[in-house]
Amino acid sequence: MIKDSQIDGMFTHINQQGRAKMVDVSEKKKTVREAIACGSIYMKKSTLEKIDKGEIIKGDVLSVAQVGGIMGAKKTADIIPMCHQIMMTGCDITFQLDYEKSKVDIIVTTKTIGETGIEMEALTAVSIAALTIYDMCKALDKSMVISDIRLLRKIGGKSGEINNF
Residue 34 contacts residue 153 (beta carbons within 8 Å): yes
Buried b (16+ CB within 10 A) or exposed e, 34-69: bbbbbbbbbbeeebbebbeeeebeeeebbebbbebb
60 is catalytic: no
What value, to the nearest 5°, has the Cα angle with vertex 60 and ends 132 and 153?
Answer: 50
Catalytic residue among 52, 105, 135, 148: 135
Residues that are catalytic: 135
